[in-house]
């Protein structure tokens, strides 16, 4: 088990190094030989600019979604208004089946192209896995444990802070991780809509007649960003898991 | 807006139908290949003494899924171009969808076979069953519902990802969306909405149909009474 852990780590590092290497290589074609007419690739400044836009889109949408999704998830598990709860649950289930892109396209058609509709679309889609995982995390708590806590005289706030939150936290983190990875990919597609980000570079490469070097300048760093965030948040998830309930489980990210 | 969408849709049923068929063709071909490859891979890694290999294979297919679809298409353009296959259109999209579909199918095949009750396998061995008989008469029938759940996940996901294939010139409902984006304005918006709505419907319907199939392929003795 330990051995494959090392191999896994090395493999993902190699993949990351490869992707970043490809990016640097393709960028150097343009900047080391600036006189060469073709292929002229994007300068490093452009790459940095698109990187900062991309990361900002993902961060803003993710933070908004956490801010909205966590309270909704918590309310759903409390069931204050059954009809509302059922409705929201149905909405979350259906939304999960819909392709991410539908959201972006629909919102940009309804609200107009632009950064606002892209962020709204990303947020709406990101909220769903967070709500679902918050619910799943809190519902997974054995009712006997809650009984025991009540019997020990714990208040509802104490149960929430000392039992529900720690037990549900890894699952919630898994939702945040999945949705972040999804967000990186969706933000790339949004780049196509004139918002910027790595998607814009891919779009330009394809628009110039499929210049592979430029396409790779956009594609390789997007993949590298997604894999890095997945690894980093996976580590956070493992750290946050209380030692008593550490179980080997496969995290699923659907991009 | 909604009236425009309705009017346009009702006048262009045959065109939309054609796009849906193109979309389905891509998804079905990709998932057909993906199912064969995924199940064979899943069976292979569930063999004795291959636990480490299984761990790595599932990890790698998981990494494939984290790669954003647009980036995947871009990387495939370079890779397929280098080995002399078409860089745009049908082929790269199908290859990407096969890769994306691997994780749910391989993982579910593997876990389903691994989790067959050892006592049942003992019993089969005691009856003198060969490895092949154990696989086809015990392990696979018991695993099929779980494998079908993986296939369902892969298909629903791929319906969405195939839409972005229109970026690199694949057919399907994505075409409609991209025509819409390239022509901003009232008509363009109608195209985008119609495209997005039909992709969503396609995803929902295929989810339902495969859910039903999942139920039907469950051996009667294993059914838990839950109907989709």
Domain ranges of chain B: 2-6+20-217
Q: Mean of the pLDDT values across residues B141-146?
A: 87
> Does the beta carbon of B87 lie under 8 angstroms from any beta carbon of chain A?
yes
Look up the pTM and report it. 0.83
Give the C-alpha separation, B39 to A201, whole Å.
37
Residue that the structure tokens 């967070």 belong to = A130
Chain B residue closest in CA terms to A193? B181
pLDDT given for residue A80 in this prediction:
64
Give the C-alpha separation, B7 to B21, whole Å.
22
In which element (H, E) is residue A59 found?
A: helix A44-78
Chain A residue closest in CA terms to B196? A102
Fold of the CATH domain B2-6+20-217: MetI-like fold (1.10.3720)
Give the C-alpha separation, A91 to A102, whole Å.
15
The highest-confidence range among A231-245, B1-15, B122-136, by mean pLDDT, is B122-136
Which one is predicted more confidently, A177 or A140?
A: A177
Residue that the structure tokens 């990875």 belong to = A181
Chain A residue closest in CA terms to B87? A210
Disruptive mutation site among B23, B70, B109 for chain A (greatest number of A CBs within 10 Å): B70
Q: Mean of the pLDDT values across residues B105-111?
A: 93
Task: Please check the confidence at residue A1 and state whether its pLDDT lies above 50.
Answer: no
> Does the beta carbon of A16 lie under 8 angstroms from any beta carbon of chain B?
no
Q: Using an 8 Å Cβ cutoff, are B162 and B93 in contact?
A: yes
Disruptive mutation site among A9, A102, A194, A216 for chain B (greatest number of B CBs within 10 Å): A102
Q: Mean of the pLDDT values across residues A162-190?
A: 87
pLDDT given for residue B220 in this prediction:
75
Q: Which two tokens stand for residue A132?
A: 């679902």
Smallest CA-to-CA distance from B166 within B101, B32, B70, B59 is with: B70
Secondary structure tally for chain A: helices H, strands E = 10, 0
Task: Please check the confidence at residue A161 and state whether its pLDDT lies above 90.
Answer: no
Around Cβ A183, how many Cβ atoms within 10 Å? 28
Question: For B145-169, what is each residue's pLDDT tens digit?
Answer: 889 989 998 998 899 889 888 888 8
Give the C-alpha separation, B117 to B143, whole Å.
11
A212 CA to chain B: closest CA distance, Å?
Answer: 6
Which residues have CB under 8 Å from A3's CB, separation 6+?
Answer: B52
Residue that the structure tokens 């529900």 belong to = A164
Own/partner contacts of A135-141, CB < 8 Å, gap of 24 or more, are A135/A73, A135/A76, A135/A77, A135/A89, A136/A171, A137/A167, A137/A168, A137/A169, A137/A170, A137/A171, A137/A172, A138/A73, A138/A74, A138/A77, A138/A164, A138/A167, A138/A168, A139/A77, A140/A167, A140/A168, A140/A171, A141/A167, A141/A168
Give the C-alpha separation, A182 to A203, whole Å.
19
The region, left, alpha or beta by phi > 0 then psi within -120 to 50, assigned to residue A50 is alpha
Q: Mean of the pLDDT values across residues B201-210?
A: 90
Smallest CA-to-CA distance from A182 within A253, A108, A90, A107 is with: A253
Around Cβ A55, how many Cβ atoms within 10 Å? 16
Confidence of residue A65 (pLDDT cuts 50, 70, 90): very high
> Does the beta carbon of B79 lie under 8 angstroms from any beta carbon of chain A?
no
* Share of residues in chain B with pLDDT > 90 (%): 30
pLDDT given for residue A225 in this prediction:
92
- CB contacts, 8 Å: A97 with chain B: 156, 203-204, 207
pLDDT given for residue A254 in this prediction:
36
ipTM over 0.90: no
Question: For A203-252, what is each residue's pLDDT tens digit?
Answer: 888 887 777 888 888 889 999 999 999 889 988 888 888 776 655 444 33
Disruptive mutation site among A223, A226, A252 for chain B (greatest number of B CBs within 10 Å): A223
Which one is predicted more confidently, A91 or A138?
A: A138
Confidence of residue B106 (pLDDT cuts 50, 70, 90): very high
Pairwise CB contact (< 8 Å): B68 & A223: yes
- CB contacts, 8 Å: B57 with chain A: none
Residue that the structure tokens 């998932």 belong to = B31
């Amino acid at each position: 088990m330990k051995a494959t852990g090392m191999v896994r780590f090395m493999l993902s590092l190699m993949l990351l190094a490869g992707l970043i290497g490809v990016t640097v290589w393709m960028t150097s074609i343009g900047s080391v030989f600036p006189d060469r007419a073709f292929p002229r690739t994007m300068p490093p400044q452009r790459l940095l600019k698109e990187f900062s836009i991309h990361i900002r889109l993902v961060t803003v949408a993710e933070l908004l979604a956490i801010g909205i999704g966590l309270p909704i998830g918590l309310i759903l598990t409390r069931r204050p208004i059954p009809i509302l709860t059922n409705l929201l649950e149905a909405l979350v289930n259906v939304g999960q089946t819909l392709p991410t892109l539908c959201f972006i396209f629909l919102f940009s058609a309804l609200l107009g192209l632009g950064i606002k509709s892209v962020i709204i679309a990303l947020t709406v889609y990101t909220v769903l896995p967070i709500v679902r995982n918050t619910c799943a995390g809190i519902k997974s708590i054995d009712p006997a444990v809650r009984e025991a806590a009540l019997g020990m005289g714990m208040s509802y706030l104490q149960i929430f802070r000392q039992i529900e939150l720690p037990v549900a936290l890894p699952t919630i983190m898994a939702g945040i991780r999945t949705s972040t990875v999804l967000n990186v990919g969706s933000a790339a597609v949004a780049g196509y809509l004139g918002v910027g980000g790595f998607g814009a570079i891919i779009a330009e490469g394809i628009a110039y007649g499929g210049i592979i070097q430029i396409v790779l300048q956009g594609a390789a760093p997007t993949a590298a960003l997604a894999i890095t965030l997945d690894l980093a948040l996976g580590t956070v998830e493992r750290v946050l898991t209380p030692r008593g309930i550490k179980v080997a489980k496969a995290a699923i990210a659907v991009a | 807006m909604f009236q425009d969408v309705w009017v346009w849709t009702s006048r262009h049923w045959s065109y939309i139908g054609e796009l849906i068929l193109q979309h389905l063709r891509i998804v079905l071909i990709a998932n057909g290949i993906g199912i064969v490859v995924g199940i064979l891979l899943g069976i292979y890694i569930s063999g004795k003494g291959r636990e480490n290999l299984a761990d790595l294979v599932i990890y790698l297919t998981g990494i494939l899924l984290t790669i954003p679809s647009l980036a995947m298409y871009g990387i495939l353009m370079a890779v397929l171009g280098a080995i002399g296959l078409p860089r745009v259109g049908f082929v790269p999209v199908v290859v990407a969808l096969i890769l994306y579909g691997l994780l749910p199918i391989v993982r579910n095949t593997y876990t389903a076979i691994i989790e067959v009750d050892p006592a049942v396998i003992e019993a089969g061995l005691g009856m003198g069953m060969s490895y092949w008989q154990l696989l086809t008469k015990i392990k696979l029938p018991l695993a099929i519902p779980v494998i079908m759940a993986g296939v369902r996940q892969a298909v629903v996901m791929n319906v969405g990802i195939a839409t972005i294939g229109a970026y690199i010139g694949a057919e399907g409902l994505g075409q409609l969306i991209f025509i819409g984006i390239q022509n901003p304005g009232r008509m363009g918006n109608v195209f985008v909405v119609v495209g997005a709505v039909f992709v969503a419907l396609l995803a929902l319907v295929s989810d339902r149909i495969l859910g039903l199939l999942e139920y039907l392929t469950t051996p009667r003795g294993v059914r838990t009474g839950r109907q989709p």
